[in-house]
Amino acid sequence: MSVATGRSRSKSIYDVSAFEGMDEYSALQQYISCYRDSRPNEFANDAQTAKPKWWQFWKSGPTGAEVSQGAIVPPEFLDTDFRGGLSTHEVETRRKRYGPNEITTEKVNMFKQILSYFTGPILYVMEIAAILAAGLEDWIDFGVIVGILLLNAFVGWYQEKQAADVVASLKGDIAMKATVIRDGAEQHILARELVPGDIVVIEEGQTVPGDVRLICSYDKPEDVAIYNQMKAEEKFADESDPDNEKKEDDDEDQVDPDGMPIPQSHSIIACDQSAITGESLAVDKFIGEVAYYTTGCKRGKAYGIVLTSAKHSFVGRTASLVQGAKDQGHFKAIMDHIGTVLLVLVMFFIMAAWIGGFFRHLRIATPHGDSNTLLRYALILLIVGVPVGLPVVTTTTLAVGAAYLAKQKAIVQKLTAIESLAGVDVLCSDKTGTLTANKLSIREPYVAEGQDVDWMMAVAALASSHNLKSLDPIDKLTILTLRRYPKAKEILNMGWRTEKFTPFDPVSKRITAVCYMGGDKYVCAKGAPKAILNLSECDEETARLFREKTAEFARRGFRALGVAYQKNDGPWILLGLLSMFDPPREDTAQTIIEAQALGVPVKMLTGDAIAIAKETCKMLALGTKVYNSHRLIHGGLNGTTQHDLVERADGFAEVFPEHKYQVVEMLQQRGHLTAMTGDGVNDAPSLKKADCGIAVEGSSEAAQAAADIVFLAPGLSTIVLAIKTAREIFQRMKSYVQYRIALCLHLEIYLVTSMIIIRETIRVELIVFIALFADLATVAVAYDNAYSDERPVEWQLPKIWVISVILGVLLALGTWVLRGTLFLPNGGIVQNFGSVQEILFLEVALTENWLIFVTRGGKTWPSFQLVAAIFAVDVIATLFCIFGWMSGEPMVTDPPTAWVQRGDGWTDVVTVVLIWLYSIGVTVIIAVVYVCLNKIKWLDDLGRKDRSRKNPVIENTIAALSKLALEHGVDKHGTERYVLAQRAVEEEDDE
């Protein structure tokens, strides 16, 4: 969508300026009728940032000291005139110094990234093999080995770049926007383009684009004098801690050191700081106070000045705490383990080959060009013994999967998170905005006896703000609900006029509006049920029913609002109750059922009251074993009992961020792979702690920075797709790993035993091409069709090794049987003419290539890409055999081959057909064995971890130690000592 299109759509749906010129109630009617609940797509332009020159390949961002002093902003930078703002030249200067205004993970140095494709145990071995080939002056092998390394690096880079490009394009959709004053005019830009000292406009509905000190109300620019006075007298609060500012706000009578009151007026905006401080109510902000980065403005419109870049804001510093640890991940540990074991096996087989070679009186490197030398055996085994394609194939598989998930609105920020997600067996999920729609809805209201529901809904709408530019969510809901009550809409069309509106007051706990219709005066009110009941003068029976209905709504988890009115200063008349509820998303129940069918139960963690949590669980078919956080932390439970509660619970209510972290940690201690969803700054630690952290749609930048996966689509439905996709990717990698280990063992076993028994090997040039063909063909594994396992998957390494070793031995036996026929006087499989080297080369290439069809399983048909890639490689291998390419001189074996080989290495077509048929037979036998192995119960469970690993001794010991503290004291002899003592109760409470 173009920018223009996005803006026009935004205007048609949201631009309340279309109602300007209308009277109050006409605009209200038009708003109710025309409102559309969708989101605009604005300002998709990319920010312009300084980039290194093309030749500065070692640099990845702003150079030198451009951002070295990003945390220090000189006071003169904050003296910007709020009417004119900064100039374009000054903005560019500051951007070079402070960098973009965004929380970003550390960018990868391009030069280091290129080098990373040539580092690692497996790649080091191939590099040693290239050096060895150069030392032996075997330039063809050297060129092919270097080509394999470059091919692997290019494919890995290209696939990662493709995935990164898709992710980058989608991230533009969630970029934060800002309204800034520059060169004397208002401009709409991306928030990442802001610099310290910029003057921004903050208004209701926007996200604060940085740590911003408020200057004055947008409608009262003359109040800048108050700001300047506070600045001159250094009366600004410390912006580093939101809680400090909140405490100062709580002091109603603030005075300066001289005893004079600080010049302070009414609040100019209100911000939702729940993601930072956990406060559920919006916090009033006054002149000189700081509105914090990523918080939402809920009311008002004001000018402010950006204090620092996002990286050094309060939220940015919080996010940096969870970015420091560079966890290599479970997947890399698995790959390193496989690579290390294969290297050990290579060293073993090289040693066996050299010992056998000494008994065969082989020389180390001479004669020149002879494959039967010890160094050439080492070179051959180095090439075949390590799967050089393993890193690139696994990376490619993950990158292709990440690109696919990105198209499904799930941005994978760390490729290895896909492997973790495939094994997740517990999902801890937020309620609001994830399980529920985060959209309050009014259920069937309670109407007092003798009252009319349409009149009650009209009064509720009258007792609401009619400022369509900054509607409170509850007022907005109340007004839009009139769509369901046409008669109530008609009542509002009877010539009403609002004389005075009083917004919600925390003291009176109600909203009131003084309205006139005809010659009558009406005072309309809505608010807390108790406050509204106290206003009215109803009889005891009506009050009793009202209280009972209020209690019933509370038990069902509904938020209740009372409605009443007064006519011509007469008695207050109680009309009834509005019941509001955040309904579950339409797809949530089905998503939870599908997740549970995949072996991933959902545990709900919410800050709402336990009644609301249980009601939501009932509606979503979740279990109702929901406990409040007090029982988890202060319920007298510890050790094993506490861990059992976390495992058994279906969710926890009234939780704080530390509770979420603790739940995730306890589940991990029990052996569960845990996924965690979150959206706020305080969720960042638990997102980082989880095996797979997921930032849901609409999450803060800090949560996105800490998460492994970011969802752009609302709700949890994407996670089921992500889990299934992750398990498919896992199956591809698992089948490739089994295949590649078997290939390594195949040639190691055959070549070493062949050298020791008959003093023969396959020429190193042909071995190099076998390795090349294997890598070329199996890169297509990333695009293969795969199935999604019905339960969480895991790397059962013992099972993988057992099956791979058996497959490798069977492949080696198949090659030995073919080689054995070639000792027959008539040449065995040879029909007319041929070459032992080429015949062995073709049989090895065919059986190894086709093994991937065995290890991938038969639950899905192979993809066209995989079949085409392997067929193409098989055709090339066949041409090698027919035309004798790189066959070399026939080797003299012990015992010798009886029939005469062609000197040019050619093999007749009939023989080639027999080799194909023989290879098919070998593959069928291996497939039958593979199927039988996977049906063995004990082998299927070999290496499977216990998903609920309980260790009461350790858990109870840790719980007991947590109650102890190290105390410092002095004994009676005056010697200082540190002793273990029971931790003070007050200390526990503080925690």
Residues marked active site are found at: 430
What's the token pair of residue 265? 């007026």
Let me know the angle formed at the C-alpha of 942 by 936 and 943, rounded to the nearest 5 degrees.
Answer: 160
Q: How many residues does the chain have?
A: 991
Map residue 428 onto helix, strand or coil: strand
**Alpha-carbon gap, residue 700 to 696, rounded angstroms:** 9
Q: Helix, strand, coil: what percent of the chain each, to 5?
A: 50, 15, 35
**Alpha-carbon gap, residue 446 to 459, rounded angstroms:** 14
**Alpha-carbon gap, residue 961 to 808, rounded angstroms:** 51
No. of helices (H) and no. of strands (E), the chain: 35, 25
Q: Quickly list DSSP for 31-54.
A: HHHH----------PPPP-----T
**Alpha-carbon gap, residue 819 to 273, rounded angstroms:** 75
**Nearest of 426, 410, 339, 476 to residue 797 by alpha carbon:** 339
Any idea what DSSP says for residue 890?
P
Q: Mind spelling out the 3-state secondary structure of 82-101? A: CCCCECHHHHHHHHHHHCCC
Whole-number CA gyration radius for the chain: 36
Neighbour-count burial of 856, counting CB atoms closer than 10 A to its CB (0-12 exposed, 13-18 middle, 19+ buried): buried
Q: Are 939 and 863 in contact (CB under 8 A)?
A: no
Q: Are 324 and 253 in contact (CB under 8 A)?
A: no
Beta bridge partners, 202, equal 302
Q: Are 291 and 271 in contact (CB under 8 A)?
A: yes
β-pair type (296-306, 441-442): unpaired
351 C-beta neighbours (distance < 10 Å), count = 13
Map residue 702 onto helix, strand or coil: helix
> Which residues of 163-220 form beta strands (DSSP E)?
177-182, 185-190, 199-203, 212-217
**Nearest of 568, 536, 552 to residue 451 by alpha carbon:** 536
- Which helix (H) or strand (E) segment is 385 a member of? helix 374-385
**Nearest of 99, 105, 61, 102 to residue 705 by alpha carbon:** 105
Burial code (b: 16+ CB inside 10 Å, e: under 16) for 620-629 equals bebbeebbbb
The residue with tokens 């190290």 is 966
Name the phi and psi angles at 64, rounded to 5.
55, -130
- Which helix (H) or strand (E) segment is 359 a member of? helix 329-359
What's the token pair of residue 48? 């312009």
Measured in Å, how far apart are the chain's first and last C-alpha atoms?
A: 50
Contacts of 71 (CB under 8 A, 6+ apart): 308, 312
